[in-house]
Structure 1
Amino acid sequence: MVVLTANYLCKTGMGDAVEKALREMIPLVEQEKGCLHYLINRSKDNPDAFLLFEQYEDEQALARHSETPYFKRIVLDTVIPMLEKRERTLYTPVQD
């Protein structure tokens, strides 16, 4: 199992547009084989900050996710240009 967290800091005032794009991703990703959890969270303190929590069966499932046409269109082409900063971290759960 692999967990990915992504912290997005939007360019000022872009939070609503980023949220709209990320909401489009939710039903698409939830249908992916190997996706266990896909949670998008928006900061209560900063409307331009997001935390994504993603859990996949294995690294191959995560790699497949990153190759989907909708990931490329929504995340790479739409969301990332609206970000000031994007930090991604991979984790392996400690417990089985």
Structure 2
Amino acid sequence: MIVLIANYHCRQGMGDKVEEALREMIPLVEQEKGCLQYLVNRSKDNPDVFLLFEQYEDEEALARHSETAYFQRIIRNTVIPLLDKRERTLYTPVKP
């Protein structure tokens, strides 16, 4: 299992446009084979900051996710140009 935490820091005032794009993305990703969880969160303190929690069966599922046409259209071509900063960190769950 692989977990991706992504922090999106939007250009000032772009939070609503980013949220609109991410709302379109959510149901598409939730249907992906290998996607276990895809949670999009918007900061209560700063409406131009988002935290995404993504959990996939394995690294191959995460790679397939990034290669989809809708990822390219929504994230690469729509969301990323509206950001000042995008931070991504990968994790593996700790199990007993």
Q: Please state which band the TM-score falls in when normalised by the shorter chain.
A: over 0.9
Q: Distance in 2 between matches of 1:75 and 1:32?
A: 16
The aligned counterpart of 2:75 is: 75
Query: 2 CA distance for matches of 1:79 and 1:60?
Result: 23
Q: Normalising to structure 1: TM-score of the pair? A: 0.99
The ranges of structure 1 where at least 4 consecutive aligned residues each deviate by more than 2 angstroms after the TM superposition are: none
> What is the root-mean-square deviation in Å for CA atoms of aligned residues?
0.7
Percent sequence identity over aligned pairs? 79
Correspondence for 1:34: 34
Aligned pairs for 1:81-92 within 5 A: 81-92=81-92
Structure 2: which 5+ residue stretches go unaligned?
A: none
Deviation at 1:95, TM superposition (A): 1.2
Q: Distance in 2 between matches of 1:90 and 1:20?
A: 25
* Partner secondary structure for residue 95 of structure 1: coil
- Tell me the distance in 1 between the aligned counterparts of 2:81 and 2:36: 27
Length-normalised TM-score, structure 2: 0.99
- Find the counterpart in structure 2 of residue 3 from structure 1: 3
Tell me the matched-pair count.
Answer: 96
